[in-house]
Amino acid sequence: MNLNNIGEFGLIKRIAEQFSSHSPGLNHGIGDDCAVFADGFVISTDLMIENVHFLHDPSSYHLLGRKALAVNLSDIAAMGASPLFFLLSIAIPKQYALDDIAVILTGIHSMAEEFGIALIGGDTTGSHSDLMISITVIGQAIDQRYITRKGARPGDLVQVSGPLGSSAAGLAVLTADLDPTGCETLITAHLNPIPRIKAGIALSQIDEVHAMIDISDGLTQDLGHILKASETGAELILESIPVHDSLLPVSQKIKVDPFQWILTGGEDYELCWTVAPEAEEIALNAVRKTGAVHAATIGRITTGRNITVRNYGKAVNIAQAGFNHFGVRETPDNN
Ligand code: ADP
Ligand code: MG
């Protein structure tokens, strides 16, 4: 059997079955945005590889450095925790100029400064072909209050911290070489995402918030992880999903279905959580106060196992569910 048959999440499942993740000091091992230690510390790692996650383009390396750290911080945000430290590992091809690496480091440094976190170690090595950057972030849940993917209950509302589909639309603008005028927010969403740390912490303090994830691979896929962990389904109301004003005009120009960007576009790094209906406004207000002013309720958790989507009452077919490194279509049933 090859990797295409089992997909990224099938492989992770196999790895998780092969290794023990039981330890007296561990509350949660493989399967969430971070592992959680018994004392409330959380930890997460991510890997970025040239020609997979980014292209060799030194002019973009400052933002690449920022994004390499931001995507890790987003996993800390998804637990509702506060970031503290990080480790940085880089594998550098011999032909790389020191100046290019320095620009990446400046980008990582600027993001680290914004969130007040310290670099405490890492590893540096050569590489035969591509540049690789791996970052591990350690954070802490305030008063041990953290939110996992498991815990969504039928009747809960599904909420998100901001517009979806922006990053996918921004990437499309860059790839199609469109005039970027009016599309700056979309492009920035793709190149310079800001993790929702404050929003995550605010939500961790609300008892009625039951489950949370960050949207790195697309709404349907990432919400699917909550549903799988919680053994629930969801109904989404497409017209209530926040979308940036410029997304629809761009989709018309490029002739792309905007629903695909909104429902399955990756790399928005917004948070998605479920909350008991009586705390709907409490959760939205807490998140909006942190600057995420477009936070909205976008649906509700059901007793089923699937995601259904309606647009002004009409059923929408979710043609393709989300990003997967080995090309397998992920659905709530198989992820
Ligand atoms: P995220 O998108 O939040 O970064 P992933 O989808 O990459 O999460 O990973 C899902 C879960 O699987 C996480 O708990 C992650 O730590 C774990 N995981 C991914 N790859 C591996 C691996 N090679 N070995 C062990 N655990 C892994
Ligand atoms: Mg995540």
Which phi and psi (to 5°) does residue 158 adopt? -100, 130
Structure confidence by residue, pLDDT tens digits, 45-83: 999 999 999 888 888 999 999 999 999 999 999 999 999
Determine the angle formed by the axes of helices 166-175 and 184-191, rounding to 10 degrees: 100
Cβ-in-10-Å burial (0-12, 13-18, 19+) of 96 comes to: middle
Asked whether residue 324 carries a pLDDT value surpassing 60, the answer given is no
57 Cα: distance to centroid of ligand 2 (angstroms): 26
pLDDT, average across residues 76-92:
98
pLDDT band at 321 (very low <50, low <70, confident <90, very high): very low
pLDDT of residue 79: 98
Structure confidence by residue, pLDDT tens digits, 206-238: 999 999 999 999 999 999 999 999 999 999 999
Asked whether residue 333 carries a pLDDT value surpassing 60, the answer given is no
Ligand 1 atom with least separation from CA of 33: 3
Structure confidence by residue, pLDDT tens digits, 264-296: 999 999 999 999 999 999 999 999 999 999 999
pLDDT of residue 245: 95
Is the CB of residue 72 less than 8 Å from the CB of residue 45? yes
Residue 314 neighbours by CB under 8 Å, 6+ apart: none
pLDDT of residue 325: 54
290 Cα: distance to centroid of ligand 1 (angstroms): 28
User: Mean pLDDT over all residues of the chain?
Assistant: 93
254 Cα: distance to centroid of ligand 1 (angstroms): 33
pLDDT of residue 125: 96
Determine how many CB atoms are found less than 10 A away from the CB of residue 251. Answer: 21
Of residues 24 and 112, more confidence is placed in: 112
> Which of 292, 295, 317, 294 lies closest to 306 in space, CA to CA?
317
Q: Is the dihedral of CA 21, 150, 219, 246 positive or negative?
A: negative
32 in ligand 1 pocket by Cβ < 6 Å?
A: yes
pLDDT of residue 2: 81
75 in ligand 1 pocket by Cβ < 6 Å?
A: yes
Asked whether residue 332 carries a pLDDT value surpassing 60, the answer given is no
Ligand 1 atom with least separation from CA of 78: 3
pLDDT, average across residues 182-191:
95
Determine how many CB atoms are found less than 10 A away from the CB of residue 19. Answer: 10
Smallest CA separation from ligand 1 atom 2, residue: 216
Give the bridge partners for 136, in sequence order: 45, 87
Asked whether residue 102 carries a pLDDT value surpassing 60, the answer given is yes
pLDDT, average across residues 163-172:
96
Query: C-alpha dihedral over 275, 277, 279, 280, to 10 degrees?
Result: 80
